[in-house]
């Protein structure tokens, strides 16, 4: 079979969404249920930089964190993984195109009310946002980006993590 006629295979499941949307927790469960490896790109960034995301934002600014994240995502060459991305991954069109080349992109969509009930101190989460930007403004800005890149969107507010996994499996294998 010639290279150009091969069917494109999407072996990765790529989770996108706001901090607190459940990407890491759902990702671990999803990896177990689908016999895939799991990777959390926030952990990759922190390990490579030997500091927390919040330290990067505090010392070097949110733009630096976004650039580091873009590089980390572009460096990924994975198959058969569940990938939990950082909340700001969607700011890099190049990185998102790279992830979607071998992955189904799944947006874990939660309301602002749910995020506020899950995350009690956004100030320590290492969120790549402008200093003058409120969490609500950031949420509204990112929703458009998450929606643009998502192959599948799952409203997770009323689901348990197990139910979210079941819905991802059902929809990703349709």
Going edge to edge, which strands form the sheet with 103-109? 37-40, 81-84, 12-16, 103-109, 152-155
Looking up residue 116, the CATH number of its domain turns out to be 3.40.50.300
Q: Given a cut of 80, is residue 10 above it in pLDDT?
A: no
Residue 3 in domain: no
Mean pLDDT of the chain: 88
pLDDT, residue 107, reads 97
Q: Which helix (H) or strand (E) holds 29?
A: helix 23-34
Q: What is the pTM of this model?
A: 0.90
Total domains present in the chain: 1
What is the share, in percent, of the chain residues with pLDDT greater than 70?
91
Residue 157's domain comprises 10-172
Band (pLDDT 50/70/90 cuts) for residue 7 is: very low
Phi, psi of 89 (to 5 degrees): -55, -35
pLDDT tens digits, 88-126? 999 999 999 999 999 999 999 999 888 878 776 666 556
Residue 14 in domain: yes
Residue-wise DSSP of 93-139: HHHHHHHHHTEEEEEEE--HHHHHHH-S-GGGS-----TT--HHHHH
Residue 1 in domain: no
Residue 34 in domain: yes
Sign of CA dihedral 108, 109, 114, 119: positive
The whole-angstrom separation of Cα 72 and Cα 83 is 12
Cα 47 versus chain centre, distance: 17
Mean pLDDT for the stretch of residues 13-17: 97
pLDDT, residue 161, reads 94
Band (pLDDT 50/70/90 cuts) for residue 1 is: very low
Q: Given a cut of 50, is residue 142 above it in pLDDT?
A: yes
Residue 112 in domain: yes
Residue 133 in domain: yes
The whole-angstrom separation of Cα 147 and Cα 31 is 23
Q: Is 22 helix (H, G, I), strand (E, B) or coil?
A: coil
Mean pLDDT for the stretch of residues 133-146: 89
39: which strand partners?
Answer: 83
């Amino acid at each position: 079979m010639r290279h150009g006629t091969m069917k494109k295979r999407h072996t990765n499941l790529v989770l996108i969404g706001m901090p607190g949307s459940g990407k890491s927790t759902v990702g671990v469960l999803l990896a177990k249920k689908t016999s895939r490896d799991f990777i959390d790109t926030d952990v990759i960034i922190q390990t490579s930089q030997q500091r927390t995301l919040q330290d990067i934002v505090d010392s070097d600014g949110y733009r630096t964190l976004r650039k580091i994240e873009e590089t980390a995502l572009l460096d990924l060459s994975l198959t058969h993984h569940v990938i939990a991305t950082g909340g700001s991954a969607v700011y890099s069109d190049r990185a998102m195109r790279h992830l979607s080349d071998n992955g189904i992109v799944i947006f874990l969509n939660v309301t602002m009310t749910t995020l506020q009930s899950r995350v009690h101190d956004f100030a320590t989460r290492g969120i790549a946002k402008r200093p003058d930007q409120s969490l609500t403004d950031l949420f509204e800005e990112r929703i458009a980006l998450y929606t643009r890149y998502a192959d599948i969107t799952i409203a997770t507010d009323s689901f348990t993590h197990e139910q979210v996994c079941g819905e991802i499996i059902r929809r990703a294998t349709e």
